A and B are shown apart, each in its own frame.
Chain A
Amino acid sequence: MDFTQKTILAMLIIGGLAGWVMHRSDFCLTGMVRDVFLTRSYLMLRVLFLYVILSALSFEVMRRLGVSIQAFGPPGLAHLLGGVGFGLGMTLSGNCVFGSVYRFGSGEVTGATTILGLVFGSLIFFEFATPISGALKRIALFKAATIPELFEVDPLYIILPLVFVGALLISSWARAGKLSMKSFISSFLQPWKAALVIAFLGTLSILTFGIPLSISTLYSKAATQLEALILPQHIINNAYFTKGIAIELPFQAGKITIDNGPALDTLSAAQGSLFIGIFFGAFISAKVAGDYEINFRIPPRHYLLAFVGGAIMALSARIAEGCNVWHILGGLPYLSTSSLLFLFGLFTGSYLGSRILQRAIITTPGSAE
């Protein structure tokens, strides 16, 4: 088996397990941020903190063992503004790039609608936003790509105190029952357990492919292939599509290829496999749990919100050089400064989206029987 075949197999397995646990726990990265504003719920933020502490430790151990990890770039205005846009988009759609897939797998039509929006948003980006995005990316805020670089210290001096304080906090939350929610259905998986599994899967993703869990470039690739079919001249005339990079991975004995054009590369093969894995993991989980149900009869504004939110997310992810999964599940444990900036933007955008949502969705009439 060559490197690409091994990656495809590993990502199918990782995706399948991730899809299962995300469906069982409804592990919603959108809700983690949004619910702080909508319902003043901090449970999922605590769960995220648990994930970050565990993954920061595992990323550092891997780094010290010489495992090749795709680095994050220095922070710029693009990460902040992209974060704002992404937070707005994910809050409006109710899904993020992972949530849309596992919910689509479990029968939610709004998940599928968000995916269409993500592909459409990528098309809009190619047609209209590449010059703006390029200009934003040139506005760097500072050079340090990580917090240890910012303070010019060995990462261990940041990671060890972080893990120590984090462990104290997490154990106090666990004792106070603040890491769990009372469950009313037997098949529900507590989100903190899902966080442990996803942290393990994120580590496996790096060990096999050198890149943390991510998926948004797949939507970009789908949009490029669509554009190559319907507007091939636009592909030829746009310099953006001629760009690409290859990253050598000495530890994993392979090479990642990333091509902005319509040609298939190893990144899209990996992300495509992850997508398929998550979809079927969630599908099987929903079938086994007995709650797979498709409902098309929902208010039209919900389709609109899911689609428009998806499009805004795709535009924003291209500008911010990554989606929420990339920056939160990959960048935060890496102590990436660009991901911290993205997170700040994400909260801002989610706050704006929450204000819009409260007016837009609470209109479903009930019926007396």
Chain B
Amino acid sequence: MSAKPVEFVVDIRGQICPSTLLTALKEINDHRDGIRSGEVKIVVLTTNRNATSTIPNAAENMGYRVSVERENSHYRIEIEAE
């Protein structure tokens, strides 16, 4: 049975518009090996509605599994290995 991945939380709620996508992409790239091996899961917390499309689409194109949920009044985007 595989271990539960460590969640790496990136809280970028309220930040200026392009910060969300750029920061998320940087974190995905920085943790590429960990995500692919199933050891790390990136969790992005954002209030930016556009990011609920741009980040998942970019991450899916990279071959990751993505889920988006509303958590209280912001969005929680989880990016992990397929």
Instruction: Please report the C-alpha to C-alpha distance between residue A267 and residue B13 in the assembled complex, in whole angstroms.
Output: 36
**Contact assessment for B16 and A364 in the assembled complex, using a CB-CB cutoff below 8 Å:** no
> Which residue in A34, A35, A108, A366 is a CB contact (below 8 Å) of B47?
A108
**Contact assessment for B70 and A290 in the assembled complex, using a CB-CB cutoff below 8 Å:** yes
**Contact assessment for A26 and B27 in the assembled complex, using a CB-CB cutoff below 8 Å:** no
Give the size of the chain A interface in residues (CB under 8 angstroms): 47
Q: What are 12 contact pairs spanning A and B, CB under 8 A?
A: A26-B50, A28-B50, A31-B17, A38-B22, A99-B17, A182-B56, A184-B66, A290-B73, A302-B15, A357-B22, A364-B11, A364-B15
Closest 10 CB pairs of A and B: A295-B14, A94-B17, A94-B16, A26-B50, A184-B68, A293-B73, A366-B10, A26-B49, A361-B19, A295-B13
Interface string of B1-33 (1 = CB under 8 A from A): 000001111111111111101110011000000
**Contact assessment for A291 and B49 in the assembled complex, using a CB-CB cutoff below 8 Å:** yes
Q: Which residue of A lies closest to B30 (CB)?
A: A366
Instruction: Please report the C-alpha to C-alpha distance between residue A110 and residue B14 in the assembled complex, in whole angstroms.
Output: 7
Interface of chain B, main secondary structure: mixed
**Contact assessment for B73 and A291 in the assembled complex, using a CB-CB cutoff below 8 Å:** yes
**How many pairs of residues, A versus B, come closer than 8 Å at their CB atoms?**
124
The answer, yes or no, to whether B75 is at the interface (CB within 8 Å) is: yes
The answer, yes or no, to whether A168 is at the interface (CB within 8 Å) is: no
The answer, yes or no, to whether A181 is at the interface (CB within 8 Å) is: yes
Instruction: Please report the C-alpha to C-alpha distance between residue A184 and residue B49 in the assembled complex, in whole angstroms.
Output: 10
The answer, yes or no, to whether A298 is at the interface (CB within 8 Å) is: yes
**Contact assessment for B9 and A296 in the assembled complex, using a CB-CB cutoff below 8 Å:** no
The answer, yes or no, to whether A154 is at the interface (CB within 8 Å) is: no
B-side contacts of A31, CB under 8 Å = 17-18, 50
The answer, yes or no, to whether A109 is at the interface (CB within 8 Å) is: yes
A-side contacts of B18, CB under 8 Å = 31, 34-35, 38, 94, 357, 361
**Contact assessment for B16 and A184 in the assembled complex, using a CB-CB cutoff below 8 Å:** no
The answer, yes or no, to whether A241 is at the interface (CB within 8 Å) is: no
B-side contacts of A369, CB under 8 Å = 6-9
Q: Nearest Cβ in chain A — how far from B1, in angstroms?
A: 21
Q: Which of B39-82 contact A (CB under 8 A)?
A: 42, 47-50, 52-54, 56-58, 60, 66, 68, 70, 72-75
Chain A CB within 10 Å — which of B7, B18, B26 has the most? B18
